[in-house]
Structure 1
Amino acid sequence: MSIPEVGESAPTFTLPGMIVRDGVRTDDEYDLSSEIGRTVVLAFYPGDATAVCTAQLCSYQAELDEFDDLGAVVWGVSPQALDSHETFARGSSLTFPLLSDTSGSVIRDYGVRAPGIGLRRSVFVIGPDGVVRWRHVGLVGLRFPKAETIRAQIELLVS
């Protein structure tokens, strides 16, 4: 599949995910269509507890209150299983949902699959209307958009 363009409807999906809050892991199903009315930041990342992924997701964690104040939720998506996500979340003090796309179906639907490396580090800002409003798709996966850049895009949606 091709990468959804800005202005196109975001591919909907339901994935298993988990969140660690106050030391407790909670598993749930995360359904993008149930978030209509809220802005969703989808952060696709190649692997739990790798150096660049840790830096990326920790930077988003540091801005989580800012995103929340703007009515936006952040979901991390990678191909690892929930137990791997739990170890990563605990080790990096992440308190937003990490979703498990072990089949790679959502990674394919968003066009961010990359031969050899699994997936391209990518961020999509999906507006409250379910439409892609901003995106950043990495070529090699070493660079990621800063939290401030994403926040500025969310601010454009709520102003």
Structure 2
Amino acid sequence: MLQLGDLAPDFTLPTDKGETFHLAGQLGKPVVLYFYPKDDTPGCTAEACAFRDQYADFLDLGAVVVGVSSDSEASHQKFSQKHRLPFPLLADTSGQLRKQYEVPRALLGLLPGRVTFVIDAAGKIAYIFNSLSGATDHVRKTKEVLRELAA
């Protein structure tokens, strides 16, 4: 099980923007890596839009925000365009990254879990928040952690 202080597992995945995201390329700045169940569902849309609406705060804190689900790049493109998301969505179609980060399944194993990781500028896990129901709580709590890291 991943713990606070562990080095975040490195990865490279395609984004909705047609680019490749490599975690190691983000060293030197904090990364908010949030796993969500599915594009365009009510809770996932609320979460993504909360990150979007407060994106300037994340930029001010020097953080990179990245969403991850097992949906395809095409699904991510539609979701991102529909809701004008300014951050990349990663296509973990094989579920390998979810396994690497040990994101548990939720609701009796029927749904992929909703877990947010804050990875500090040195690449270590500084925060883990796991809650399927509190979609927008992920944003508020993540900002609090980033403020503490910046202090």
Coarse TM-score class (shorter-chain normalised): over 0.9
Q: Where does structure 1 differ by over 6 angstroms across 4 or more consecutive aligned residues?
A: none
Question: Does residue 116 in structure 1 map to residue 110 in structure 2?
Answer: yes
Q: In the alignment, residue 149 of structure 1 is paired with which amino acid? A: K
Q: Measure the CA separation in 2 of the matches of 1:8 and 1:146.
A: 20
* Partner in structure 2 of residue 131 of structure 1: 124
Question: Does residue 62 in structure 1 map to residue 53 in structure 2?
Answer: yes
Q: Which has the higher strand share?
A: 1
Q: Measure the CA separation in 2 of the matches of 1:121 and 1:152.
A: 18
Q: Contact 1:45–1:78 at 8 Å: present in 2 too?
A: yes
Q: Measure the CA separation in 1 of the matches of 2:5 and 2:122.
A: 10
Q: Measure the CA separation in 2 of the matches of 1:113 and 1:107.
A: 8
1:32-111 maps to which residues of 2 (within 5 A)? 32-111=23-102
Which residue among 133, 139, 142 is the counterpart of 1:142? 133
After the TM superposition, which of the residue ranges 90-99 and 141-150 deviates more from structure 2? 141-150
* Partner in structure 1 of residue 12 of structure 2: 14
Give the gaps of 5 or more residues in structure 1.
Answer: 19-25
Deviations 1:14-42 (A, max 9, x none): 01112xxxxxxx31110001111010000
RMSD value over aligned CA atoms?
1.1
Q: TM-score, normalised by structure 1?
A: 0.88
1:152 Cα deviation (Å)? Answer: 1.1
Identity across matched positions, percent: 35
Deviations 1:77-96 (A, max 9, x none): 00000110011111112111
Q: Contact 1:79–1:100 at 8 Å: present in 2 too?
A: yes
Aligned length: 147
